[in-house]
Amino acid sequence: MTDEKEWHVYILRCSDGTLYTGISNDLDRRIGEHNKGTGAKYTKGRGPVRLVYQESADNRSEASKRELEIKSLTRSEKLMLIEK
């Protein structure tokens, strides 16, 4: 089975300045969910959130692998990735 939609790995900046990394095949919907407080336990109460980085992935598996790679980075490494 192939994914019908393109997958994205994304980083959000929360209103408290923290960063959140996630994946989605519908980025606009997912960011809306985060801003409504229904997207993730971490972002609830930290909105509004703002998209600061995104990259495409071929499928959910690749997006998940990349998400784990990004989550293992330090904050400063994530900020350097965002600045690229």
**Domain contains 1:** no
**Domain contains 30:** yes
Q: What is the pTM of this model?
A: 0.91
- Tell me how many degrees the CA angle 8-41-52 measures, rounded to the nearest 5: 40
- To which residue do tokens 């209103």 refer? 15
**Domain contains 20:** yes
Per-residue tokens: 24? 């989605």
> What pLDDT does 84 receive?
87
**Domain contains 46:** yes
**Domain contains 2:** no
> What pLDDT does 79 receive?
97
64: domain range?
7-83
**Domain contains 28:** yes
> What pLDDT does 4 receive?
67
Q: What does the pLDDT profile of the chain (84 residues) look like in tens digits?
A: 444 689 999 999 999 999 999 999 999 999 999 999 998 999 999 999 999 999 999 999 999 999 999 999 999 999 999 998
Q: Domains in the chain: how many in total?
A: 1
The CA-to-CA distance between both ends of the chain, in Å, stands at 34
CATH number for the domain including 40?
A: 3.40.1440.10
- Cα distances (Å, whole numbers) of residue 54 to 1, 45, 77: 24, 22, 15
| DSSP designation for 55 | E
